[in-house]
Amino acid sequence: MDAGSVASSVLRGPFTGRARREVAFCVLTLPFGVFIPLAGFFATADAGLLLGSGRPWVANGNPSEQAVAAAVGVSVLLTVLLVATGAARGLTAACRGLAARLLGERVAAPAPMPSRRLAARLADGPGWRALAYLMLKLPVMLLELYAVVVFWGAGLANLTYPFWWQFFRNHPPGSHLSAVPVITPFGWFGQGRFTVATFPGTFAAFAAGAGMLLAAPWVTRAVVAADRRLIRGLLGPGFSARLADLERTRAAAVDDAAARLRRLERDLHDGAQIRLATLAMNLGMAKKKLGDSGVVPDADGARELVDAALQGARDALGELRELARGIHPPVLDNGLPDALASLAASSAIPAQLACGLPARPAPAIEAIAYFCVAELLANAAKHSAASTIKIDLSERAGRLMLMVADDGRGGADPARGSGLAGLAQRAAVVDGSLTITSPPGGSTRVTVEMPRHA
């Protein structure tokens, strides 16, 4: 990336949708970081007040042993209740939903809660991982709060200094006014603070605010990345479920590859192979009609057989090209945007294409995306009665997002053999997913999400 692209990214950073979504995520998930400390504080305080009929915890300047024991007991009881009742799961499910909606971080939900038996619930791995997330969320939440308050909030406040200074600092000459502090990431108040005492100094505050706002998206992104790691590591289905999912995906990939090989063999046997056999037979018959030497006994018949053989060769060549295109379309050699542009141009329904990929995905991902769009365009032409189709290709949080939407009659159902189930299976092979929104009488929207690298 050249210097111009870097400067453009820095200048546009505070105004991007991603920056707004990450700030919203930081603000909306603040309660998750303070839930455990607040719950523990109030529960322990109640226990301390109950001991001794409301007498304070501290007696003669030393903590009461009974209060300490009560605090420990209440903390353990609170931990057990959060896991056993599923409260920790419920809280983190909301956090997982916010991450999916705002960050594009879609983490599969863990297995359902065990039976009502207390022993089974206390052994609930996802519940304990959810509790661990709530505990680890506190330091992450403090960093998110620091990024939002200091870099975004104080940065915006610093930009206002030149505008309000003349209105609120217009005292008569000789008046002694204290310098106004400026909040920066390196100092707040007290030692090392940055202060402004004159109107020209407000432009230094303005410059500091501009620098803080330009850095704010990147600081926020770094902090949110830590939260993403916690969400992926603690709020997912767990290692055993993930292993089972990988085993299912591997089995699906093996079945899909076997089905493709069988289909390729059948197409070769029923198409190109028969044409080539007919070609060889026609050439053999033409050779007989031409004779071994001398005058040709049946020149017209030989010409007809040669013409038939030539046409058969052309047909066989065309079928082989179609088979090769089905294995790997040559248009993908120029990249996925060009390949999708060719599909949109040849679509039976007018299609609009929007591509916003910063870098080229892996070849396997490109091939899956291409075949998904081809299948979805074919489905729309057959079933949707739509007038327009929109194809949107973008990247969010390091994952490829492919959306195909039409304004047709809706009602798309993978169970009816429309090929959608096969597309979902193909996306799952590379740890992707396919989401369908198609209410009857409404438009159809299919979203395919995949990693950029298989």
Question: pLDDT tens, 393-435?
Answer: 988 877 889 999 998 888 887 766 557 877 887 887 787 888 8
Candidates 200, 205, 165, 163; CA nearest to 184 is 205
- The predicted pLDDT at position 58 comes to 46
In this structure, how many other beta carbons lie within 10 angstroms of the beta carbon of residue 423?
23
**CB within 8 Å of 362: residues ≥ 6 apart:** 452, 453, 454
How does strand 389-396 pair with strand 351-356? parallel
Candidates 151, 75, 109, 114; CA nearest to 236 is 109
Contact 161/52 with Cβ under 8 angstroms?
Answer: no
- The predicted pLDDT at position 213 comes to 92
Q: List the chain residues with pLDDT less than 50.
A: 50, 52-62, 189-190, 192
Residue the block writes with tokens 């226990």: 47
- State which amino acid sits at residue 298: D
- The predicted pLDDT at position 66 comes to 62
- The predicted pLDDT at position 79 comes to 77
Tokens of 119: 């022993």
Tell me the whole-structure pTM to 2 decimals: 0.59
Name the DSSP class of 171. Answer: P
Contact 183/154 with Cβ under 8 angstroms?
Answer: yes
**CB within 8 Å of 374: residues ≥ 6 apart:** 343
In this structure, how many other beta carbons lie within 10 angstroms of the beta carbon of residue 2?
7
Tokens of 444: 């159809």
Tokens of 121: 């619930």
- The predicted pLDDT at position 304 comes to 79
Tokens of 5: 């692209």
- The predicted pLDDT at position 390 comes to 93
Contact 338/395 with Cβ under 8 angstroms?
Answer: no
- The predicted pLDDT at position 260 comes to 65
